[in-house]
Structure 1
Amino acid sequence: MTHPSTRRTVILAAGTSALLAGCSEYGDKSSSPDESPKASSGQQLATTSDIPVGGGTVFKDQKVVVTQPAKGDFKAFSAICTHAGCTVNKVADGTIDCPCHGSKFSVEDGAVKAGPAPRPLPAEKITVEGNSIRLA
């Protein structure tokens, strides 16, 4: 036996649907908080020519971003934002950018330049031998 829908049931169902949709995970998971393990030391990340001067490259799988603030000066930082644990997604205009809430970090030292991030990106150890950049 079915009962006619009342206004209260329709509003309750719509509210429940909206709540569940808001709690669901959707979109590009690369910007979601990341809890998978980090890359092992000694792993080659790139060659020196892969990292643009004044910019950098994000290595999502290894959770590392490598920058070259000045020619021949290579730096590495965690690619995990200190605000909400999202993975940074690009390096542009001298900053490492997080897509989740707009935090921006310096390519020189990982310092917070903008956004809600409370701390700089932690430095990661790399070695540069010849033209090879590896995790230390």
Structure 2
Amino acid sequence: MPARPAVPSRRTLLRSAAVVPVAGLGAAACGPDGGGGAAAAPTAPVDLGAEKEVAEGSAKLYRDHNVVVSRGRDGSLKAYSTVCTHAGCAINKLEGTRLVCPCHGSEFDARTGEVLHAPATVPLEELSVEAKGGRIVAGPAA
């Protein structure tokens, strides 16, 4: 008589069914805007908008380009990629000058790119930024 194929128990099937949706959610949440894939910083200079949009001592998030620009009290501009250094998620929340990643809760200082709250341990990538003809232009670091 041939051997019967192994049949998983009811308990094994229920455990597997419970784990699959949870694992799928983690992967989906780690992409840009919660979708699959990794976010990307600009690879070429991009015009972000009017220079006056970023007041002294504040920051502005440009979600469409994965860039945050801050202006110091002295008028100087700084720009950083808003691709989280923990899992590559697009950061989509700016509270004052604090960036908050939607995937795992990492927080960064928009003025310095420094990590304020883990799980990220590496600062944001600094980008080049300048004001040209009243417009803010940011791109990869030179």
TM-score by length of 1: 0.75
* Corresponding pairs, count: 128
Q: Offset of 1:29 from its aligned partner?
A: 4.9
Q: What root-mean-square deviation, in Å, do the aligned CA atoms of Structure 1 and Structure 2 show? A: 2.6
Greater mean deviation of Cα atoms: 57-66 or 84-93: 57-66
Match of 2:21?
21
Please say if 1:72 is aligned against 2:75: yes
Tell me, which stretches of 5 or more residues in structure 1 are unaligned? 1-7
Match of 2:109 among 88, 106, 118: 106
**1:82–1:37: structure 2 CA closer, same or farther, 3 Å change rule?**
closer
Secondary structure of 1:99's counterpart equals coil
- Say which of 30, 33, 39 aligns to 1:30: 33
User: Normalized against structure 2, the TM-score is what?
Assistant: 0.72
Name structure 2 gaps, 5 residues minimum: 1-8
Distance of 2:40 and 2:93 partners within structure 1: 21
Secondary structure class of the residue paired with 1:126: strand
Measure how far apart 1:76 and its partner are.
Answer: 0.6
Per-residue Cα deviation, 1:29-77 (whole angstroms, up to 9, x for no partner) = 5145753554342321121232344332333332222222436322110
Match of 2:133 in 1: 130
Q: Classify 1:33/1:115 alpha carbon distance in 2 versus 1 (closer, same or farther; 3 Å).
A: farther
Percent identity of the aligned residues? 27
The 2-side partners of 1:29 and 1:40 are apart by 16
Are the aligned partners of 1:102 and 1:115 in contact in 2 as well (CA < 8 Å)?
yes
Runs (4+) off by over 6 Å: none
